[in-house]
Structure formats: C-alpha cells, structure tokens
Amino acid sequence: MIKKVHHVGIVVRSLEEAYRFYRDALGLPLHKEATVQEQGVKAALLTLGDCEIELLEPIDPEGGVARFLQRRGEGLHHICFETDDIEGELAALKERGVELIDQQPRRGLAGLICFLHPRAHRGVLVELAQPVE
C-alpha cells in the first residue's frame, strides 16, 4: 500500500546553483547529499513538511538523467511514493501487467527502490521506495 509521497525528483544542471533557490531562497533544509553511481547522479534531499524535494545533478553524460537534461532541460523528473512492502507492490504491479523499468527492488538514496515505466501513468515517471534503517 502507498503510504505517502516520499519525494519529488527534480533534474538540475548543478546542485550548487539549485541550492541557491531551493535551500537559500525557499529555506528548505538540506537533509542529505550523496553520489549514486548506478544512476549517474549527485543527489540531494531537502525537507518540505513531511516529504522531500530530491535534486538530481547528472555526473554520467551517458546516464538517463543527463539525457533528460539534454532533451528537456531542468525540471520535474519523477514522483516517489513510500511503501512498507516494495516486494508486494512490485508483485501486484507485475500481475496487473503494469510496465516497469525495474523488475526487482534495488538500493537507492531513499532505501529499496524501483521505477515504473512512464507509460504506465501517462508520461509520469513513478518511483516506489521502502526506506531501510
């Protein structure tokens, strides 16, 4: 079951530049910053109430986020929902024939994560995440 919006992902050219708006002007506290090699990004989580804004800066020019930036420019990239049973969610989605990007959960910044294909939700890239301690 979906518990809440965990974060909204935004692709930016540079974390440092984007901090000037999201952290300094909007005043959102920076919660976490990390490099996620498998996704070819430097990522940052900023707290907004009980969810987060995730900023993504591409570091791998061949990666999906770099291609997104090239094609569409900076902007909204994905929405991530929190679940407490990502295996169960994935199994149910497969049974319903929903198009997936990840067939199995993998490690991401938000815990165990998986991405659904944007075609499944009319152009919206959806991520599911189960936070791990």
CB of 58 to another protein, least distance (A): 14
Whether 55 contacts 15, CB under 8 Å: yes
> Are residues 106 and 112 in contact, defined by beta-carbon separation less than 8 angstroms?
yes
Q: What angle do CA 38, 43, 46 make, to 5 degrees?
A: 150
Applying the rule CB under 8 A, the residues between 50 and 79 that interact with another protein are: 50-51, 72-76, 79
Tokens 């075609």 identify what position? 119
Instruction: Count the residues of the shown chain that bind another protein, applying the rule CB under 8 A.
Output: 41
Binding site for another protein (CB under 8 A): 1-5, 8, 10-13, 17-18, 21-22, 24-28, 48-51, 72-76, 79, 81, 93, 96, 98, 116, 118, 120-124, 126
